[in-house]
Structures are given as structure tokens and as C-alpha cells.
Amino acid sequence: MAQAKPGGERQVLESMYSMIALVFILVACVELCDAATVVDVYRLIQYDISGAPFGSRLANLNHHAGSLHFAPGSDLSRTVLIIPLRELNISFVKEYITQNQPLGGLLFLLPQIFSIENRERAKSNHQTDGEELLKNDLAELENYLYIPRYLISAQQEFGSSSYLLLLYPVYFAFEDDDIEAVLADVKRNDATGQLATATTGGYKFVVSVPEPKKRASPTITNIQGWLSGLKTDGDANQLPTIAVVASYDTFGAAPALSVGSDSNGSGVVALLEIARLFSVLYSNPKTRGRYNLLFGLTSGGPYNYNGTHKWLRSFDQRQRESIDYAICLNSIGSWDNDLWIHVSKPPENAYIKQIFEGFSNVAEELGVKVGLKHKKINISNPRVAWEHEQFSRLRVTAATLSELSVAPELLESTGSLVDGRPFVNEAAIIKSVKLVAESLARHIYGHEGKNVQIFADNSSLAVNPSYIKSWLDLLSQTPRVAPFLSKNDPFVLALKKELEDHTDEVNVQHEVLDGMFTFYDSTRASLNVYQVASVTFDLLLLLVLGSYLIVLFSFLVITTRGLDDLISLFRRPPSRKVKTA
């Protein structure tokens, strides 16, 4: 019994130890989020073109905050600069980017007007000068953050030889009271001439997200809807087809904020409304035209209209040849008086002439101006600036209707941060819809040159402003960057359903985006703002506490045992040594 007892005790002890260890491990895992402020942040896009890196290359952030008021010459490699758009100095940013200056990170604070949720401002289309300035600033800033063409020009301007890389995380956030308060504090600290570091304390910004991973084989989804014309003598295939096409996906500085209300939300809205109008006409055999109508919502627009390319390739030769012409809608939501028809065949071409005359006649009646722009396509150049160029490459007559007079650069004007709902004019979209629908109808029913209003206001065929508004609102709240849209994204399904309502036959085509582009995920995150104490403070505290305990000890010893005991305490060790020796 006595011999068995120690063994049993040891077992109990051992099991106790493991229990205790387990408890400690569990307790150590408890990590509560106790940040003073948590802010939603949106990361700058990270992508590669043919292996060349662009955009922000990192996502993790754990540095002290600094403001633009830092003392010149200070080391910013461990500082997150907070830059409110209202105080933005574009040349400073350009210089920093082009000279590859070390930075801990960048956080741009955008005014609420650029927020997706900002809907109240959408009511009034009146823009103040301040907002216009902010918009221009932001647009320029964005260009230098991720558009290859601008990065290269900035590189030449500042004479930097090395390759431009943002080797630090770049985030966007919206102004609110919490972050403003933090910024005010940071500014106050920076005004003293010393940046916040571990030794001085201050605010610490922490974003902990996993390392950005490549999106494996991004898919693009094209949606097409057919509205078949009235068959005569049985053979429908002989009916010519008119195509109306708009690309619906976007690409912008922050993928999670890239809603592209104008580019190309306005085009999508216009296409849906045109489909709705013609579905009304085509539902009645008497007003059914002798043309098939093909509506195409294509994806991959920012990437040289890759989706359009794939979509056209999927048609057989006969179908493609039956297309009389195609009208592509691109950015038609914020123009005042001038629209442009972009073509790649010379204006003398008979078909082009016909289209242009059709449009300009209607435009004259609507009181707007339509201009014709001719831009030759270069087959050897992979850059496709307009959607109609994909049609032209396959010898299909096509034109793009757009408010832009010049072709945008690669990835430019495809849903940038400034392209939000407040900057889109519904009236412009309504005018564009009228223009396109009316000229198509006149062509279909052979009323060219006559002054007949088929889609007159207040008739049953009038353009429906509330339909346009609701779709525009939906588009303005849905980021649509193709690599981050899944095949069965609710938005894609909604588009499909809407086209199904207005057309006879809808097909959805899933394709893989061509390999030139690589995208990285983690587009949005939460920024934790911590107010941290400095190491100096902790050391000082330790010193104070240590002396407090020593004083307490001495006080207690003196009061309970007397001063002699206290003194003897310090003498004891040597005397014991003597004893043992």
C-alpha cells in the first residue's frame, strides 16, 4: 500500500500537469479584438501583366501611423502614412512611388461621396466645384497607382531607372468620425517633429490578412439574348441581325469599390432598357420587325474586350455574317451635349455612313450632337481600345457609342474610384437610350430620314426613368471585377433573368480569361487601430513598480520586525556561506 501510493500519486500529478498545460494553451489562444477603432479598408489592386507586377504587392500591415506633417528627412519605412484626399499633394505621391522610397504603408482617406453606400447624394446631380476638384485629384492619383501607361510616364518624368513597385500595402478607406479623430491625434504628434515609433508610442495600424493568393484561372461570363424577328417564307436564318452590346464588368484601383456607374454601368442599363422597349414591340406580330435583335452583355471588357472576342468566336460563320451591324454602348452616363460614334472603318464606307446618318438624324431631333471618330485598328497590336474593334477584326460592321472622344488606355476608365453613382446623370442615359432605340427602330421599320417618334414620351413605348434609375442604383452598388465574380454570382444571375424577361432565348457562356493577366485576392480587410504605449513607458512603469515593492517591503519589515532585521537581511547571505564553508 505504501509502495503503491507514490506511483499513483505521480500518475495523478502527471495527468494534472497535462491538464494544466492544456488549460494554459487554451487560454493563450484567446485573442480578443479590443481595438479602439476598426475601419473597413479596401486594398489597391494587385495584378501582373505577363508576369510584370503592378499595384500594391503586400496586404499585411503592422506599423505606426504618421501623417503628411512629418518632419522632412524622417525615415518612413516603418510608418503608415495617412493621406486624406483633401490634403493630397499629387506630386509628393508620384515622387514617392517613382523613387521607390521605403514606406510602411499608405492609407488614403476618401470623402464619403465616393463611398458605394452613398445614396443620398445621388438624388441631386448638382456638383460643387470642390467635389469636382476632389474627383480630378482622385482620378489622377489612381492613374499613378495602377495603370501601366501612367506608371511608365511617371518613371520617365522623374528619371527613375528601377522598375516601379509598391512594395508596401496601399489601402483606401472612407472618412468617418473615428478615423478623423485618430488622424487629428497623429497630426498633433507629428507636429512635435517626431514620428511615432515603438519608443514613443502612438497609434498602431494593424491589418492581418493572409498573404494575397493568385486567382486561379479567372472565368468570364457572357450573357446573350435573342429577340427573333418576324419570319417570312419560313426561313428565319435569312433575317439579318442587329446586335446591341455592352460590357458589364469593371476594373479599378480597389476591386471591392469598383462599381463603374458610368463605365460601363450606364451602357448595361441602356442595353436593358433598349431590350425592354423592343420586347414590347416584338411581342405584337404587327410590330415585329424583320430583323433579329441580339443583345450581348460581355465580360472581360477591361482586358482588351477578351470576353467579346471569345463570344464572337463562339458564333459560326453564318451567324456572324448575318449580323448587319453591332452597336456597342460604352460610358454614356455623364455627357451633356456631345456623343461620339467610334468606328474603325473609314467614314466613307457605305454601312458606316448609313449608321452615322441614322444616329445623327435622331440626334438632331433630340437636340444633341453626335460626332464620328475613325481609328484604324492595328492587327499586330494586342491592345483593343473599343469593343467594336473586336467585331471589326472579324469583319463585322460595328460602332461604339460613347461620351469619350479618345480611346482610353489599357485599364483606364473601366470603373475607377471616382466612377460612382453621384457622378452619373440619369437624364444622359435616357437621352442615349432614346437615341439608340429610335435610330435602330427607324432602321428596322424602314423609316430612315422620316420624322416619326416611335418611343415618344408619354406613349406606351416611352423610356421608363424609374427602370433606369433602379438598375443604375443596383449597378452602382455592385463591384463587378470579373476575376472576383464567381460563375453564379447573384449579380450575373440577375442580369440573366432580366434578359430572359425581355428576349426569346438567353444563353450564358463561361470562358476562361486569357493568360496575360494574373490577379491576387484579399481586396478588402479590416484595419484595427490601436493606441499603444511606448516601451519607455513600460520600462518606467516597471521601475516605479519595483521601487514601490521595495519600499513596501522595507516599510513592512521595519514596522513588524524593526530596522535591525532589515539590515540583517542584507547581511545574511555571506554569513550563511561562512557556515557552509
Partner 1 sequence: MTVFHFFNCAILTFGPHAVYYSATPLSEYDTLGTSVKAALVYLGTALVKLVCLATFLKVSDNESFDPYQEFLKALIGFIDVAGLYFALTQLTHRNISQNHKFQAVGLGWAFADSVLHRLAPLWVGARGLEFTWDYILQGLEANANLVLSISLAALGSLMWLRKNKPKTLIPIIYTCAGIVATMPSITSYLRRGLGWHFPEVVGFQLFTSLVMAFISWQLFAACQRPSA
- Smaller CB separation from partner 1, 23 or 167: 23
Rounded CA Rg of the chain: 33
Nearest approach, Cβ of 433 to partner 1 (angstroms)? 54
Choices 123-131, 279-287, 443-451, 554-562; region in contact with partner 1 by CB under 8 A:
554-562
Calpha distance 41→173 (Å, rounded): 5
Choices 165-173, 309-317, 494-502, 524-532; region in contact with partner 1 by CB under 8 A:
524-532
DSSP state of 345: S
- The answer to whether residue 533 forms part of the interface with partner 1 (CB under 8 A) is yes
Q: How far is CA 111 from the centre of its chain?
A: 16
- The answer to whether residue 206 forms part of the interface with partner 1 (CB under 8 A) is yes
Nearest approach, Cβ of 276 to partner 1 (angstroms)? 52
- Smaller CB separation from partner 1, 66 or 333: 66
Contact 318, 413 (CB under 8 A): no
- The answer to whether residue 336 forms part of the interface with partner 1 (CB under 8 A) is no
- Smaller CB separation from partner 1, 32 or 581: 32
- Smaller CB separation from partner 1, 92 or 537: 537
- Smaller CB separation from partner 1, 71 or 540: 540
Residues in the chain: 581
- The answer to whether residue 445 forms part of the interface with partner 1 (CB under 8 A) is no
Calpha distance 150→490 (Å, rounded): 34
| H or E element, residue 203 | strand 202-207
Q: Residues 560, 574, 575, 579: which binds partner 1 (CB under 8 A)?
A: 560
Choices 221-229, 256-264, 428-436, 543-551; region in contact with partner 1 by CB under 8 A:
543-551
Contact 449, 361 (CB under 8 A): yes
Nearest approach, Cβ of 17 to partner 1 (angstroms)? 19
Return the C-alpha cell found at 92. Answer: 509628393
- The answer to whether residue 230 forms part of the interface with partner 1 (CB under 8 A) is no
- The answer to whether residue 29 forms part of the interface with partner 1 (CB under 8 A) is no
Name the phi and psi angles at 120, rounded to 5.
-65, -40
Q: Residues 26, 29, 30, 350: which binds partner 1 (CB under 8 A)?
A: 30
Choices 30-38, 109-117, 257-265, 281-289; region in contact with partner 1 by CB under 8 A:
30-38
Calpha distance 442→451 (Å, rounded): 9
DSSP letter for each residue of 270-311: HHHHHHHHHHHHHHSGGG--SSEEEEEEES-TTTTTHHHHHH
How many residues line the site for partner 1 (CB under 8 A)? 30
- The answer to whether residue 549 forms part of the interface with partner 1 (CB under 8 A) is yes
Residue 564's contacts (CB-CB under 8 Å, 6 or more residues apart) are: none
Calpha distance 121→262 (Å, rounded): 16
| Closest CA relative to residue 134, chosen from 92, 101, 85 | 85
Nearest approach, Cβ of 205 to partner 1 (angstroms)? 10
| Closest CA relative to residue 354, chosen from 287, 421, 321, 399 | 399
- Smaller CB separation from partner 1, 1 or 27: 27
Name the phi and psi angles at 93, rounded to 5.
-65, -45
Contact 199, 534 (CB under 8 A): yes
- The answer to whether residue 535 forms part of the interface with partner 1 (CB under 8 A) is yes
Residues 32-71 that bind partner 1 (CB under 8 A): 32, 34-36
Q: Residues 133, 541, 563, 567: which binds partner 1 (CB under 8 A)?
A: 541
Instruction: Return the number of other C-beta atoms located less than 10 Å from residue 219's C-beta.
Output: 17
Calpha distance 299→510 (Å, rounded): 10
Choices 28-36, 137-145, 226-234, 281-289; region in contact with partner 1 by CB under 8 A:
28-36
Return the C-alpha cell found at 350. Answer: 457605305
Nearest approach, Cβ of 533 to partner 1 (angstroms)? 4
Q: Residues 63, 204, 345, 480: which binds partner 1 (CB under 8 A)?
A: 204
Residues that bind partner 1 (CB under 8 A): 27, 30, 32, 34-36, 198, 201, 204, 206, 528, 530-533, 535, 538, 541-542, 545-546, 548-549, 552-554, 556-557, 560-561
